[in-house]
Amino acid sequence: MERGNQFIGQSGAFLDAVERASRAAPMRRPVLVIGERGTGKELIAERLHRLSTRWDEPLVTMNCAALPETLIEAELFGHEQGAFTGATKARAGRFEEADRGTLFLDELGTLSMAAQERLLRAVEYGEVTRIGSSRPTNVDVRIVAATNEDLPRRADEGTFRADLLDRLSFEVITLPPLRVREGDIAVLADYFGRRMAAELGWEGWPGFADHVAKQFEEHPWPGNVRELRNVTERAVYRWDDWNDPIGHAVFDPFESPWKPLGQPQSVAASAPKVAAANAGKDVSPTVTPSLDTIDDLRGAVDAHEKQILEHALGKHRWNQRQTAKALGLSYDQLRHAIKKHCLMEEDS
């Protein structure tokens, strides 16, 4: 769990989730946090602990997906010496480590049915038994669990214990994805950008160019806040001049004309021809509007041309001769296109 992170946002959906976590924090009951990857489930778990009466006791985290199934029970409940091959000494499990504090179980949906059964008993009776021992140990642990899965559906299908879900869902906090948090993208991008600029020792913060800010708003952000942070910080550290607004952001760091494709045989056979045709050209992807939605051909073509220009100019830091070469234009042709789309105010 990252320390020093803050809750940044102003949208109603986001603030409602934070408020619900704040109200649930003083309770001793379990809380289930649900959300897509990168939405901040770990931060909610930390908030639940820090605002509780257990704030000065341990906050123990276990990622259930990070361990093989054979070790999960030993990690949760501990083991005695000689309980299995490699158990050279006794070891307390995460429940005992979190005694009087909070145990955060991330990726709860990956637990095996056997581990779920033992977890159910620990939650129900407040006692755990180390592997290889016959004596239970009483523990006082507040459980916070997180998942990005539909656990009620899993329970209906029989792949997750319904009785365990009942006991863990005293309160359920569902975090909204970034794409529905109205107004938060710009706020978060500015926060992460300023933080990176300070880390790099910049003397000022130029902000983002309008076309980059628009790209931020239109991107679907499948990785949510974590993805936004990566894109923002990458854009800042790759930009050389803090006097000019940041004019280029790379959303997919793996995108490259030399990226290994791993294509089917029929497609791979044509790859050399495609590579030869694109040699020396800027083949960065652009967003094409759905053909079914176009009702103004000239306007759609102009908008697409402007988007390509903004992307290429930002990529080449407004070096117009490099941009013209990358787009296969003469310098005069590029100048004409810049003037046509009213981009002269960003001219360098």
Residue 319 has pLDDT above 80, yes or no: no
Q: Which helix (H) or strand (E) holds 145?
A: strand 142-147
- pLDDT bracket for residue 328 (50, 70, 90): confident
- pLDDT bracket for residue 172 (50, 70, 90): very high
- Whether 82 and 96 share a structural domain: yes
Domain presence at residue 272: no
Domain presence at residue 264: no
Residue 36 has pLDDT above 80, yes or no: yes
Domain presence at residue 23: yes
Q: Alpha carbon of 81 to those of 56, 78, 94: distances in Å?
A: 31, 10, 17
Q: Could you list the residue range(s) of the whole structural domain that residue 60 is in?
A: 12-176
- Whether 24 and 99 share a structural domain: yes
Q: 256-311, pLDDT tens digit by residue?
A: 878 787 655 554 454 454 444 444 444 444 445 556 667 777 777 777 788 887 77
Sequence-distant (6+) residues with CB within 8 A of 99 are 58, 139, 140, 141
CATH number of the domain encompassing residue 114: 3.40.50.300
232 CB-side CA count, 13 A: 25
Q: What is the pLDDT of residue 148?
A: 96
What is d(CA 251, CA 235) in angstroms, rounded to the nearest whole number? 9
Domain presence at residue 205: yes
Sequence-distant (6+) residues with CB within 8 A of 257 are 275, 278, 283
Phi and psi at 148, nearest 5°, equal -110, 15
- Whether 170 and 22 share a structural domain: yes
Q: What is the pLDDT of residue 28?
A: 92
- pLDDT bracket for residue 89 (50, 70, 90): confident
- Whether 212 and 128 share a structural domain: no
- Whether 346 and 230 share a structural domain: no
Q: 95-143, pLDDT tens digit by residue?
A: 999 999 999 999 999 999 988 998 998 999 999 988 888 888 999 999 9
- pLDDT bracket for residue 234 (50, 70, 90): very high
Residue 348 has pLDDT above 60, yes or no: no
Q: What is the mean pLDDT of residues 19-39?
A: 96
Domain presence at residue 273: no
Q: What is the mean pLDDT of residues 192-212?
A: 95
Structural domain ending residue among the three candidates 153, 176, 199 = 176
Q: What is the pLDDT of residue 286?
A: 46
- Whether 86 and 100 share a structural domain: yes
CATH number of the domain encompassing residue 323: 1.10.10
Burial of 38 by CB count in 10 Å (0-12 exposed, 13-18 middle, 19+ buried)? buried
- Whether 200 and 215 share a structural domain: yes
**Which pTM does this prediction carry?**
0.73
- Whether 314 and 219 share a structural domain: no
Number of Cβ within a 10 Å radius of residue 188: 22
Structural domain ending residue among the three candidates 176, 211, 239 = 176
Q: What is the pLDDT of residue 5?
A: 55
- Whether 170 and 21 share a structural domain: yes
Locate tokens 């029989």: which residue?
158
- Whether 47 and 115 share a structural domain: yes
- Whether 162 and 23 share a structural domain: yes
Domain presence at residue 262: no
- Whether 289 and 168 share a structural domain: no
Q: Which helix (H) or strand (E) holds 62?
A: strand 59-63
Grouping H, G, I as helix, E, B as strand and the rest as coil, residue 230 is helix
Structural domain ending residue among the three candidates 253, 270, 303 = 253
- pLDDT bracket for residue 344 (50, 70, 90): low
CATH number of the domain encompassing residue 240: 1.10.8.60
**Number of domains observed in the structure of the chain:** 3
Q: What is the mean pLDDT of residues 15-22?
A: 96
Domain presence at residue 56: yes
Domain presence at residue 263: no
Q: Alpha carbon of 122 to those of 53, 60, 76, 91, 119: distances in Å?
A: 21, 16, 10, 18, 5
